Every structure is written in structure tokens, then in C-alpha cells.
Structure 1
Amino acid sequence: MNNQIKEKKRILLISPPFYRLMGSHFNGLNLGLSYIAAVLQQQGHEVRIYNADYLDTDSYLNQREIFQHYGAYKEALNDLNHPIWEEVSDAIKAFSPDVVGISVYTAAIKSSKNIARMIKAVNEKILVIVGGPHPTLDAEGTLQCQDFDLAIRGEGEENFLELLSGKETQSILGLSYRKGTKIIHNPDRPFIENLDSIPLPSRDLFWNNGQGLKKLDLGYILTGRGCPFCCTFCASPAIWKRKTRFRSVESVLREIEMVLKDNPTTIIYFVDDTFTLKKDRAKEICRQIIERGYNFKWKCDTRADCLDEELVKLMKWAGCICAKIGVESGSERIIKQIKKNATKEVMMRAARLIKAAGISLTVYLMAGFPGETDADLRETIEFAKELQADYYSLSVLAPYYGTEIYEEVKDKLDKEHWEYFFHQSGDMILNDGLSLAVVDEFLKLNETVSKGARI
């Protein structure tokens, strides 16, 4: 990460509005932008991160309410006179950047296009770079938007630096760009092997045009990148090629100390796809947290087959208050079909271990798989109740570009409107074999648990 900068730039990294368009918000840390900001700042650039999905509140919409606000989302997304777009435009004018980077996931593609249009209206010379999951998977389609100048595919730390150092675009791996009427895709960039070589993500560069950020959640930590599994509904295999890399335990502990120093009451969220993928490593992190006397609460995502009794007990002693496991379905037929590679027996055992340790259990569930019937979804509902989770994270299938399921159902999809591809979208219930009554019963699962159980 030692590219010499050509000249100092003013760079604004934007997380586009999404949940705010439906009356909710997302106050979490965008780690992708925070890592890039740290790398750019280290090289002398003036960098700010703008989370346009932030609101200074603790209230939020639950998943069923998001379904109910879907119409409002569509309306706000397509109404450029909506106050949120004026707010974004004002922020761009106030910072007056030379370069803007936009983090784009599939559902935020239209929102990102709106922002790029505003940027060019402010100053057409501002360089607009997009990155994130959607440009990585569909750079060709992404660059059909003329307001996007360049697309970074895959990890963005090295690409961004090389761009700002003045390196020729045709020589930058992992970059897509226009040359005349053609879109050029340079070869993929190899993954960064040594994650410890990247500076820790910046948490002091968030800037919302003078607004307070009292509710910004800075406690997100990523201890590794990638996932080795091949679930058919997940884009991770296409993005990470089923390759995993891990930071050293010492690097993780250093980031924990940094977060707690400035935010002692923060609940840390280890946002790895599977925090306990390497069980011995997870145990060592827990042991070090205990031995060093860190006193904080934390949560993580994991898999049922990546837990054992010793690990779960260590997690509890180290301050874990919530473990989230992907179950997806209660139908053995569907579990096999989506290549979950775990049985209901294994899932039940993991749930019992978590509950017995006194850790709150969140279960991820999904409806709308190809060929799923009302009977299958009722099996999911009944199995969910047997698991006795404290919270159910409920979704409908969104067949993202690059997933195995996308290839299976792509002829049914409206690929002109990627902005409707998200897990609480009314347009994503593609399965004619499911009745809306059973889907609604599924979406009411959290009414069976105590209020306030979500962590």
C-alpha cells in the first residue's frame, strides 16, 4: 500500500440512502468505505465518509413494516424532489470533492445513479467511482450509467490508490471503464493475502454536512474476508470465489482496543460471514478478550456446524450476548436444494448450545425459494418455533446477480429494476406456489417472541 500520490485530492465516499427512503435508517459502519478511507488518508488525501442512510434516532422499522412501506420506498426513490436528495446534493456542494466513491449493493443501484446524476450536475469534472457487490458482479451493466466513470471490482483498497497515483487505467487490475463506446474490463485483481497489511478502518472521518452523528454505530469489526460455502442464494461464492483470509488475532484485538477507547459502551458486532469458521481461532480471540480483561458486549454471525460446547461457553465468558445462525428453511428438501450443507438436527443442537450458555439466539429464515410450497414454508414456521429463538431475521428470496439461484430464475426477473432486489421487497415474491397468507404468517414470527428481544 505504498503508491505515491500524484497530488492531494478531496475525496468523498458515499453510502447511498436506502432504508431512509422507506422511513427507516441504517446507522451502522460501512466497513468497505472505512477501509478505503484509511488507506487514502494514510497517503495524504483529504477524505470524508458520508452515510446518507443515517438518522439521529434509535427507532427503526421491523421487517414486516418494511414490506408494508415498500410503496413509499418506490415513490421516494423516483421522486428527485424528495428532501433526501436535496440533502445529498447539499452535502456534495459543501465538501466540493475532486473524487466521489459510491458503495453500491444491488438494491442501492438506482439510489447510486441518482447521486451520480447530482454529482455531475454540481460539477461534471468530479470523478465518480463505484464499487461494492453490484459493480463487482455486473460491471458491464453498472457502467451503462454514463454518470459512473469507473467501476472497481472486488477489494478496492489497492485499485483506488493506483487510480489516484496517476497509473494508466488500462494497467489497473480489477478496474472497468469506458473507452469510446466500449466498456473495458481489466483482468481481476488477486485478493489481498495479508489482511494485516491494510490500515485499520477509519472511524473518525464520518461527515454528514455538519449534522450530529451521535447514533452512529462504530462497533462493526471484520476479522476475515470470504466464505468457503456455496449456498445457492448467496452472492459470496461469486464475489470471493469461496476463498477465505483471516486477520491475525493480535490485529483483531488491536482494533477492539481502538473501538473501546473512544466508544466504551459500544456493542461490537463481528460481521464476518462466519465468525467461528476456524473454531480454534475464535476460541483464541475469546481467551485473549478474557485474559486482557476487556469488558464489552458483542455479537456475531455464525453457522450451526461451526460451533461446539467449549466455544460457545468461551463466547459467553468473553462477553457474547447474541449469536446469529443461518437456518433459512425448516424443510429438509429445501435445505438440500439450496446447498446449505447442514441438517435440522445440527441446527437444533447449535440453538440449544447457544441458549444453554445464556446467549441470545437470532435465526435467519427465508421464504420464496424456487419450488417451495406452502407445506415447505409451514415446516419452516414450525421449525422456527421449535428453535425458540429470541429473534427471527426474516427475508424473502432476492435472486442476486451472480448467485446460482439467479441463473435458475433469471427469465422471470425484471433486470431493468435492480433496485427492487432486496429481502423485504414486494416484487421478490416470485414463487407462484406460495400463498400470501402463509408468507404473512411467516413474517409474523417475531410476534411469538418477547418485544425488545432484537439485539
Structure 2
Amino acid sequence: MERVALVNTPSLRKRAVSRGMAGGLGFDGAETLVLPPLDLALMAATLRGAGFAVELIDADPLGLDDAQVYERLDGTSYAAIVASVSLPTLVADAAFLAGLGARHPEARVFAKTLVREPHVLEELLRKSGAHLVIHGEAELDIARIVTGEVRDGTAWLEDGKLVFRAGSPIADLDALPLPARDLLPNDRYVYPLLGTPVATLQTSRGCPYPCGYYCPYPLVEGKAWRAQSPERVLAELRDVVERHGIRKIYFRDATFTLDQKRAARLCALIREAGWRLEWMCETRVDCLGDALLEQMAAAGCVGMLVGVETGDEAVMHHKEGKKGLTVPKLAHLRRRARELGIRLHFLLIAGLPHETRSSIVDTSALVMRHDPDTIGLTVITPYPGTPLHAEAEREGWIESADWRDWGGHQVVMRTPHLSREDLARAKRFIDGGLALVERERREGASAEVPQLRRRHYVELLTWAYGLDGVRREAQRKARALAAAHEVPLTVVIPSYNRRDILKKTLLAFSAQTVAPAEFEVVVVDDGSTDDTLAMLAALRTPFALRVLAEPHRGPNAARNRGIAAARGRIVLFTGDDMIPGPSFLEAHLKFHGGHGEERDALLGLIEWSPEIRVTPLMEHVVSPAGGQQFNFAEV
């Protein structure tokens, strides 16, 4: 009986990598993230069925380095040795393969990878001396590849040139055998969001969504979605639970709930089986309905990884963003998941091509506002073969050719709007903000953490909007105003053709609980064509009222003009249709009296006037569900 050795190449002691992640191209790993090599376990089952004796060595959970794996294989003759290769560990993996070839001249040595970019495969073959690279879905064809009958889905060097043979995706995933888990150290696998021991299942392959611009899943698995039947998944679960005693399950599908009826049927089968499982999956917000969420929770779902990518809604809706996701949908999912006891893990990317520094503020704010249990933040990585990689090469964005940097958390490129340093800082800002939230969860309410969160947010805004210069100018103006003994507070009101409501607003400022000498009001008329200016000229107020007449350039330009003219140490912006309550200015002055930093700000609550009829639409725009600009219900 011929023997075949399958080796999940050592990485933990060199450059830790989780080989099955990032679509199988490889992702930064750790001792707390060690998952079973499903591809090798499936190939082992097929080889056994074809009459081969199979040895499978998964080096990392066993704590083996290169030399220890070599030692395990020494003294045995093999027809073939297959060893895994990932992109971030390509050079080290190639050296390991070269060592295998030197020690086993009798064997055909194959590299197993899902990298398919020809120049990368050529580099691998030259550095490893491997006879062949298996790059396709070889789980059903591996026996015939070993015997030389089939070369589809492989690449090799011939007369010094690369020969690449395309493979075909497995059309019927129900035809896959059950993985040979008896060859794996099942008690040593760990996933940080579930614990240990954990088993992984991949019940579907392929992803049809346009985020394939940067995502490796459609690159590796194709855009056509293929799925196992719920009954086939149940059979594998039965093997995992009843034969191997594992009840923590991580479904590794790119979009587990793409077919919601299939997911619901599987949940029903799990409940009928009576297993008490804890499982997680990865999916999209727009592939989850309330009814399915309830069925998932009842079947043991304790967490979901959802692709969010960015908090910048404009970027989110680009073709290479996360089309189909909206912030209200995300808010609804967050609320329902919390009610059902399902943890949410947001998958985020810093550096999508349309993102700017302000996008990073949006992403940080989204994390703070929707409070995921955990996040997975990566930096944009132009995986070879993706459209992003082609564009990045064409535009000269790629700045690192060292594959060790391509694990998902290192910065290997710049974008049109963000430098490498910008991307590194963006990651630190978002990670740092969540770390403070997690600290507050652990330690409870304290005076220190809110201060740290405010300081962190100020630093983010200062970086994103280049506020260092603005800050210096504000400090200079504050010193000048203090020396001139001007009023403590200036109210700036831009107005355009709103004569009547503006007058009502100004009269309300006459009834404030603070003395008129404590504030001034600057109205910037933005080129009104009604008689606003005549009304203002005739109006008499107990406080200092100044009117600046400007050409029509919009409210932002009017506010800037008001800032330039302000005599107060504190500037308060309000609208010409916002009637202030009697203690409005007193509350602002009291806040700033206790918060002396020049970057502290206070946002006030705004309610509909009792004088107007509030329509359902008006109610909606100030509610958490509809309130993006006017979400005062959360203030």
C-alpha cells in the first residue's frame, strides 16, 4: 500500500498564520487562533478511499517546528508528500518544502495553496523545488493527482517555464467525503470567539457580491455560490458531535445565510437532533431576517461575524464597498442580536480606495454608536489576483513586496487618499477606541475612562481634519479675547429668507436666565431677498445684537463669517428656527465652566415645537431608526 503524507506546515514558531482564513490565502495567526486544516482532512478521506495509507501532521497545534516534522517523517518511504503554503509565509513554506524534497528523494513533493497568481506560483516552485503546486479544489481529485492521472488545478515548471493548468470548482459539494478528523488533534483547536475545542465546517463555497474587488473569497472560490444540503451538513455535524465530542462549531462559509431557507432548515435539523451546540458563522446584514435570527438562536448560534467594512456610508455604497448594507439595517441587527443573546463581531477594513481620514472618523463613530461585542479590523490588502491588486499595481500604490507583510494587519500599500502612515494610524485609532470601550465594560463606571475616551476622540478629530492649526488659532484668539474683556459667549445664527421665525428666535434670547451682558448674538444674513435685514434693523434687544450682511454662499460660509466676527470666548451655533428655552445659554455656560479644554463641546437636545403638528415622517427622523442627522433621541 502506497503512503501519502499531508502536512500543515509549521508557522507558529516562525511567522504565525491561520492558513484557512482570507479565503485560504492565509491570515495572521496566533496561539489563540489555531483551526483545523479542512482541505487536508478532506484530501485524506479521499486518499483513504482510493487505497492509500495516509499520515496527516498538523504542526502548529502539536507544537512542532520544521525539524520535528522532518523527524516524524524520517524512516518512512512516501509516494507523495503534500505540504500547505500560505501567502504571508510563502518564503518560509518554500524552504520547508525544499527540506522535504532533500530528505525524501523517493517522494513527489507537492505544494498545496490557493494562491493562483502565476508569478507567485513561479516564485514558489523555484524556491521550493516542488514537483507540482496544487492550487485548485483538489479534495476529490487528489488521488489521481498523486498517481499522475490528473493535472487539472495544478502548476509546474517545464523547461524553466511555468505551466498553469486551471481547475474546475466542485459543482456538488454533497459529493465531498466527511473529513478524516480522526487524523487531527481535535482537542487542540481554538478560536478566540468560541474557545476550545472547536471544529470548523465549510458548508458552502463562492461569493457573488461585488466586494470581490478586494475580498479573496470570490477570487479563490469563484462568484457562483455552491452549497451543501442541510442533510449533508447534519451528517458532518453528527460526526463532529457524536464521534469526536466537539460542541463548539465555527461555520467558515463566506456568507452562511445567503440562502435563508437553507439556513433555517439546518437550524431545524440541529434542534431535532437535540444537541446543545455553541456555534458562530460569518454572513451579511442583508442576508438576515428576524425570523431566521430567532431560529439561529434557538439552534445554538451564540455569535456572528458580519461584514461592515466602513462607517462611511458614501464609501459603503460604492460598488467595491458593502452594497446592501445600511446603517439602519445594522442598528436593527444590533438590537435584535442583543435581545436574542447573539454576540456581534464587526468585520472592518481601514483603507478602502475611496476612504479619507474623515472616513476613519465615521468608522470609529459607527463602532462606538453600535457597540459590537468585538471587532476584527484589518488593513486593506491587495491580494494577488483581485481587481484591487491589478489597480494598485497599475497606480503604483503597493509599497511592500515582502510577503510576510501580507497577513491582513500590516500596511503594504497606500491609497489615493491615505498614506501608509495614515493607514497605520487609522488602525491604531479604531483599535484604541474599542479598547477603551472594552475597558469600561470590564471596570464599570469611572471618571478616568470617559476622560480617556474624550481625549482619544479629540486626537482622532485633530488628525482627521488637520485641526492643529485651528487649535493654535483658537488659543491665540482666546488669549486676545481674555485680554480685551469681551463677552463670555457668542451665539452665531446663519439665516436665509426666514424673517418671521428668526424674529421669534431672537425674542426668545431676550428671556434667557443669564444676564444680557454675558452674551452677544451675531446674525449672518446669507443674502436674503425678503425684508429680513429691515426687520433686524428695527429690532431692539436687551443683549448685544450684531448683523452681518453677506452674499448668498450657503450656511457653512455664513457660520465661518460669524466665527471670524465673534467676540466671545465660547461660540454657540444654533439655527434661525430653533427657539431656545430660558436656560439654554445658562446650560452652555455651566458646561464650559466645568470643562475648560478649548476642544470641549456640548450638543443640545432639540424637540419639535408644541405649536406644530408632528407627522409620522417627522417622528421618524428624530428616532433611532431613522435619525442619522437628527437622532436627538440618543442625546
- TM-score, normalised to structure 1, is 0.83
Shift of 1:368: 2.3
Structure 2 counterpart of 1:182, from 161, 173, 181: 161
For the residue of structure 2 that corresponds to 1:363, the secondary structure is strand
Distance 1:108 1:124, change over 3 A: same
For the residue of structure 1 that corresponds to 2:207, the secondary structure is coil
Shift of 1:184: 1.3
1:152 aligns with 2:131: no
Shift of 1:19: 7.5
Q: Deviations over 1:183-223 (max 9, x none)?
A: 2122x232222111111111111379xxx958674511111
Shift of 1:99: 1.8
Map of 1:406 onto structure 2 = 389
1:359 aligns with 2:342: yes
Map of 2:202 onto structure 1 = 222
1:258 aligns with 2:239: yes
- TM-score, normalised to structure 2, is 0.60
Contact 2:304 2:342 in 1 (8 A): yes
Map of 1:12 onto structure 2 = 6
1:420 aligns with 2:405: yes
Distance 1:376 1:260, change over 3 A: same
Superposed CA RMSD in Å reads: 2.8
Map of 2:47 onto structure 1 = 40
Distance 1:136 1:174, change over 3 A: farther
Map of 1:204 onto structure 2 = 182
Distance 1:405 1:147, change over 3 A: same
**How many positions carry a matched residue from both structures?**
414
1:117, 1:273 → 2: CA distance?
A: 33
Contact 1:420 1:428 in 2 (8 A): no
Distance 1:173 1:24, change over 3 A: closer
Paired residues for 1:244-323 under 5 Å = 244-323=225-304
Moved more, 118-127 or 83-92: 83-92
Contact 2:7 2:59 in 1 (8 A): no
Structure 2 counterpart of 1:191, from 165, 169, 178: 169
1:416, 1:152 → 2: CA distance?
A: 23
Distance 1:285 1:120, change over 3 A: same
2:5, 2:243 → 1: CA distance?
A: 25
1:97, 1:371 → 2: CA distance?
A: 51
Moved more, 128-137 or 222-231: 128-137
1:114, 1:43 → 2: CA distance?
A: 30
Map of 2:38 onto structure 1 = 31
Shift of 1:307: 0.1
Map of 1:339 onto structure 2 = 321
1:397, 1:351 → 2: CA distance?
A: 25
Structure 2 counterpart of 1:119, from 68, 88, 100: 100
Shift of 1:282: 0.3
Map of 2:143 onto structure 1 = 161
Shift of 1:135: 4.0
Distance 1:95 1:30, change over 3 A: farther
1:255, 1:92 → 2: CA distance?
A: 30
Shift of 1:92: 3.6
Give, as a single letter, the amino acid of the residue that structure 2 aligns with 1:350: L
What runs of 5+ residues in structure 1 fail to find an aligned partner? Answer: 1-6, 57-82
Distance 1:142 1:179, change over 3 A: same
Which of the pair has more CA radius of gyration?
2
Shift of 1:371: 4.5
1:429, 1:268 → 2: CA distance?
A: 37
Contact 2:414 2:423 in 1 (8 A): no
Distance 1:265 1:193, change over 3 A: closer
Residue identity (%): 26
Q: Which of 1 and 2 has higher RCO (CA within 8 Å, sep 6+)?
A: 1
For the residue of structure 2 that corresponds to 1:151, the secondary structure is strand
Give, as a single letter, the amino acid of the residue that structure 1 aligns with 2:159: G
Shift of 1:319: 0.7
Distance 1:390 1:245, change over 3 A: same
1:383 aligns with 2:371: no
1:234 aligns with 2:234: no
Distance 1:16 1:85, change over 3 A: closer
Shift of 1:335: 1.7
Contact 1:390 1:449 in 2 (8 A): no
Shift of 1:133: 1.9
1:108, 1:399 → 2: CA distance?
A: 16
Moved more, 430-439 or 415-424: 430-439
1:320, 1:182 → 2: CA distance?
A: 50
Distance 1:49 1:444, change over 3 A: farther
For the residue of structure 1 that corresponds to 2:181, the secondary structure is coil
Shift of 1:123: 2.5
Shift of 1:334: 2.4
Distance 1:392 1:86, change over 3 A: same
For the residue of structure 1 that corresponds to 2:182, the secondary structure is coil
Map of 1:86 onto structure 2 = 67
Contact 1:203 1:218 in 2 (8 A): no
Shift of 1:349: 2.4
Moved more, 44-53 or 398-407: 44-53
Contact 2:411 2:424 in 1 (8 A): no
Q: Deviations over 1:423-453 (max 9, x none)?
A: 12254566417264443111224414447x9
Map of 1:99 onto structure 2 = 80
Shift of 1:151: 1.3
Shift of 1:102: 2.1
Q: Deviations over 1:219-246 (max 9, x none)?
A: 1111111111121221222223301111
Moved more, 89-98 or 199-208: 89-98
Shift of 1:320: 0.6
